[in-house]
Amino acid sequence: MTLVKLGYVAMSVNLTNASPSKTMTYTQFPKIKDREAAIDKLERISNENLANCLRLLKHNVAHDISFFRFSSKLIPLANHEELKDWKFMRPIKDILHEIGDYLEKHPMRIDFHPDHFVLLNSKKKEILNTALKTLSMHHALLKGMRVPTEHRCVLHIGGGYDDRELALEQFIHNFALVPQALQEMLILENDDTTFHLRDTLYICEKLNIPLVFDYHHHLAHYEKETKGWEEHWGGILKTWENSSLPIKMHISSPRDDKNFRAHAEYVDPKMFMDFLHGIRGSTEEIHCMIEAKKKDEALFQLMQDMQRFKEVEIIDGASFWFK
């Protein structure tokens, strides 16, 4: 049997006034003529975002959810060039400590997925430096919450730059420039347009990075000679052998045939079951991150749907045994 735990991304559609991604753009920032007042506003927004994260964690515990992705937009303008002097970690120290206290009492797997502009395989030094600054911010947030940083940050390989093979090798080259603490934080995901499963597995095996298998991305983008992913599943499992965390995957469903890459509001239970049958008996535990428009509501609906299948034994509100 395999223990399956479900998680969801960033925010709840059931909680009101609980967005963790309130923001201020740099266009808005200089309109506040007093720079100190503008920074005070940034700090208020950051604290409010993190306070809403704590509300979300409490919501998760109330519904047996022990797997959650934090928003990567918690601290507006944290890495902006014009705000280098802003020590953004100082004003959020207390709320991060409070989140850490709550996670110690209610253990939960939490992680991040920085935006697509975090590119580690760019040849441009300024783009790579911006990516490293963004990853350093995520590392600082995890440390502030006293969450172990190992394998908590999902990235795509990056841009194809008109030469996919060269772009793969550029990632390997640039990875040597990434500080070890940030290297250890990273896990890689196959994407839906450029780097398919075998590309991602190549990098993960080469650099000893766990691979997060995105099933929907694979169905949208795979090698022309094969649609099968099962032949690579053993290799995916091996990338997690040295991790203290169970293997992780992403599950979502296409919006429709015309918009296949776009995420639907909910997860198609048959599609999910096809995946579970494909991995049957291969791992004792797997954590499945739901990337659906309806967020936690999609998780609740999927758990209801799972009750229909004889292979499923429900444990609680967000996990089950797959026999």
Q: 112-139 pLDDT, tens per residue?
A: 999 888 999 999 999 999 999 999 999 9
Residues 67 and 289 sit within 8 Å (Cβ to Cβ): yes
Half-sphere exposure of 297 (CA within 13 A, CB side): 9
Per-residue pLDDT at 229: 94
Question: Which CATH superfamily, name and number, covers 2-322?
Answer: Divalent-metal-dependent TIM barrel enzymes (3.20.20.150)
Residue-wise pLDDT tens digits, 149-198: 999 999 999 999 999 999 999 999 999 999 999 999 999 999 999 999 99
Name the band, by pLDDT with cuts 50, 70 and 90, for residue 79.
confident
Residues 54 and 68 sit within 8 Å (Cβ to Cβ): no
Per-residue pLDDT at 227: 62
- Domain range annotation of the chain: 2-322
Residues 276 and 242 sit within 8 Å (Cβ to Cβ): no
Per-residue pLDDT at 29: 83
What is the rounded CA–CA span in Å between residue 66 and residue 63?
Answer: 9
| Cα angle 301-285-211, degrees, rounded to a multiple of 5 | 95
Distances (CA, A) of 184 to 78, 153, 179: 22, 9, 9
